[in-house]
Amino acid sequence: MFFRWDWLRPVLTAPVVPTLGPVHPGALTVGIFDDILRAAVTGDFLPYDKDQRWGGEKDETVLSGDVVHQPERTLIPTLTLRGSGTVKVFAYGHRDSVVDEAAELAAKLATVHDVVNARVVRPLGPETGSPRGTRIQLKDFTARPCPAPGGPVRPVTDWPAAVQETFAPFAAAMAAEGLSFLHARMSAGRCGPVLAAVAEDRVVGAIGPMDVRPDAIGCPQLLPQYFAVLPEVRGQGLGRALWRAAMHWGQSHGAAYQLLQTEVGGPSDRLCQSEGLASLGFSRTTRA
């Protein structure tokens, strides 16, 4: 199966692609959707897949034989076997009934593949306001300079050894934000630089890894980072300093843009909105 752009393009209310996540609107072509079908056959990472930086194998794949592709709606199911397993159906269409159809398909495929979780992912356009879910935001590095913020932020490896040793307990405390995974990759030497904020000689915030790679059309993008600040030091500007330091790093290393996903109404969402990022739409995930 190959997608018809005249069917698919009208229902792409937000630039979200199954197994890849958000993509730049300028790179959103029918070719990307065809690529994810080909990758489902080979099992390989696409050259521009942000997850390839972690190595290993791609753990989410499109169920190509179960795609529903029609003029007014497209349903694209994916399967992840990690943990108890998950089927997601990405529902593209303007009518609300597309969610019910996607939920029915997700539940059916979860049974077929003997996995526990069935989910529906519905991209929504920016005109929908602020629904529950995640907001897709664009940082354009070509629009204006991103100066270094100063303050107690620098790469982890630039801090004294005694401070570096406090990253492990910080990462454990922020495991829910993915920092334990990040720390494991850092310890194995398998990720780019991580920036850390320090107070009273201990790490209290971090953002990383920092990595610039080409997207589907060869445009350099700053890849998404893990980002966390200890609750007891929030409200002191450390999160903003970390984020601005990351944006300075990205611009200094040739990135043209970054795409971020933030929980609507959450701290990172409010930060990005206050920094003037453009909202490209939303993604809402529900149980089937």
Give the CA radius of gyration of the chain.
20
Q: Is residue 263 part of a domain?
A: no
Do 98 and 16 lie in a common domain?
yes
Beta-bridge mates of residue 266: none
pLDDT, tens digit (0-9, with 9 covering 90-100), for 159-192? 999 999 999 999 999 999 999 999 999 999 889 9
Do 212 and 155 lie in a common domain?
yes
Residue ending a domain, choose from 137, 156, 189: 137
pLDDT, tens digit (0-9, with 9 covering 90-100), for 15-74? 999 999 999 999 999 999 999 999 998 888 999 999 998 888 889 999 999 999 999 999
Residue ending a domain, choose from 137, 166, 195: 137
Do 24 and 130 lie in a common domain?
yes
What pLDDT, on a 0 to 100 scale, did the predictor assign at position 1?
A: 61
User: Above pLDDT 90, what percent of the chain?
Assistant: 89
- Spatial distance between the Cα atoms of 75 and 63, rounded to a whole number of angstroms: 11
Confirm if 76 and 90 have CB atoms less than 8 A apart: yes
Do 128 and 186 lie in a common domain?
no
pLDDT, tens digit (0-9, with 9 covering 90-100), for 201-246? 999 999 999 999 999 999 999 999 999 999 999 999 999 999 999 9
Q: Is residue 13 part of a domain?
A: yes
Do 54 and 157 lie in a common domain?
no
Based on the structure, what is the number of domains in the chain? 2
Do 70 and 173 lie in a common domain?
no
What is the residue range of 20's domain? 5-137
Question: What SS3 class is residue 70?
Answer: strand
- Greatest alpha-carbon pair distance for the chain in Å reads 61
Confirm if 286 and 133 have CB atoms less than 8 A apart: no
Task: Give me the phi and psi of 151, to 5 degrees please.
Answer: 80, -175
Do 27 and 91 lie in a common domain?
yes
Of 234, 245, 246, which Cα lies nearest the Cα of 270? 234
The DSSP secondary-structure symbol of 45 reads P
**CATH number of the domain where residue 172 is located:** 3.40.630.30
Do 117 and 22 lie in a common domain?
yes
| pTM attached to this predicted model | 0.93
Averaged confidence pLDDT in the chain: 95
Residue ending a domain, choose from 137, 164, 188: 137
Confirm if 103 and 137 have CB atoms less than 8 A apart: no
- Spatial distance between the Cα atoms of 269 and 272, rounded to a whole number of angstroms: 5
DSSP per position, 156-178: GGGS-HHHHTTHHHHHHHTGGGT
Do 93 and 212 lie in a common domain?
no
Question: What SS3 class is residue 135?
Answer: strand
Q: What is the mean pLDDT of residues 140-149?
A: 96
Q: Is residue 268 part of a domain?
A: no
- Spatial distance between the Cα atoms of 121 and 123, rounded to a whole number of angstroms: 7
pLDDT, tens digit (0-9, with 9 covering 90-100), for 258-278? 999 999 998 889 999 999 999
Q: Is residue 285 part of a domain?
A: no
Q: Is residue 173 part of a domain?
A: yes
Asked whether residue 131 carries a pLDDT value surpassing 80, the answer given is no
Of 29, 70, 23, 73, which Cα lies nearest the Cα of 48? 23
Do 123 and 162 lie in a common domain?
no
Do 153 and 239 lie in a common domain?
yes
Asked whether residue 199 carries a pLDDT value surpassing 90, the answer given is yes
DSSP H or E stretch at residue 52: none
What pLDDT, on a 0 to 100 scale, did the predictor assign at position 130?
A: 63
Q: Is residue 236 part of a domain?
A: yes
Q: What are the structure tokens assigned to 185, written together?
A: 């990759």
Give exposure, 207-219, as e/b (b: 16+ Cβ within 10 Å): bbbbbbbebbeee
User: Above pLDDT 70, what percent of the chain?
Assistant: 99
Do 112 and 53 lie in a common domain?
yes
pLDDT band for position 105 (cuts 50, 70, 90)? very high
Of 26, 129, 112, which Cα lies nearest the Cα of 77? 112
What pLDDT, on a 0 to 100 scale, did the predictor assign at position 150?
A: 87
Q: Is residue 281 part of a domain?
A: no
Q: Is residue 221 part of a domain?
A: yes
